[in-house]
Amino acid sequence: MKERLRKYLKPILIAASLLVLTAGGIFVYRHFTVKNVFVDGNTHYSDEQIADMILSETPGDSSIWLFFKYRNREIKDIPFIETMSVSIESPDTIRVKVYEKSLAGYVTYLGKYMYFDRDGVVVEASDRKIPGIPEITGLTFDHVVVYEKLPVENDSVFPEVLSMTQLLDKYSLKADKLSFDEDYNMDIYFGDVHVLLGGDSNINEKVMALTGILPKLEGQKGTLDLADYQDGNTVTFKSG
pLDDT of residue 23: 46
Q: Are residues 113 and 89 in the same domain?
A: no
Q: Is 97 helix (H, G, I), strand (E, B) or coil?
A: strand
Q: Are residues 128 and 72 in the same domain?
A: no
**182 assigned to some structural domain:** yes
In the chain, the amino acid numbered 57 is E
| Domain housing 75 | 32-100
pLDDT of residue 68: 83
Q: How many domains does the chain have?
A: 2
Q: What CATH number is given to the structural domain containing 231?
A: 3.40.50
Q: Are residues 122 and 152 in the same domain?
A: yes
Q: Are residues 132 and 208 in the same domain?
A: yes
Single pTM value for the model: 0.69
Query: What is the spatial distance between Cα 60 and Cα 48, in angstroms, rounded to a whole number?
Result: 15
Q: Are residues 109 and 86 in the same domain?
A: no
Q: Is 21 left (phi over 0), alpha (psi -120 to 50) or beta?
A: alpha
Q: Final residue of a domain: which of 69, 100, 131? A: 100
**179 assigned to some structural domain:** yes
Q: Are residues 188 and 77 in the same domain?
A: no
Q: Final residue of a domain: which of 68, 100, 132? A: 100
**120 assigned to some structural domain:** yes
Number of neighbours of residue 94 by Cβ within 10 angstroms = 26
Q: Are residues 155 and 41 in the same domain?
A: no
Per-residue pLDDT tens digits of the chain, which is 240 residues long:
555 555 555 555 555 555 555 544 454 555 578 889 999 998 888 999 999 888 876 555 788 888 888 887 888 778 888 889 999 998 889 999 999 888 889 999 999 999 998 889 998 899 988 888 899 999 999 999 998 999 998 888 888 888 898 899 899 999 999 999 888 888 999 999 999 988 777 888 899 999 999 999 988 999 999 888 877 677 888 887
**15 assigned to some structural domain:** no
pLDDT of residue 97: 94
**217 assigned to some structural domain:** yes
Q: Are residues 73 and 113 in the same domain?
A: no
Q: Are residues 145 and 96 in the same domain?
A: no
User: Of 163, 227, 164, which Cα lies nearest the Cα of 195?
Assistant: 227
Q: Final residue of a domain: which of 46, 70, 100? A: 100
Q: Are residues 114 and 195 in the same domain?
A: yes
Q: Are residues 55 and 171 in the same domain?
A: no
**171 assigned to some structural domain:** yes
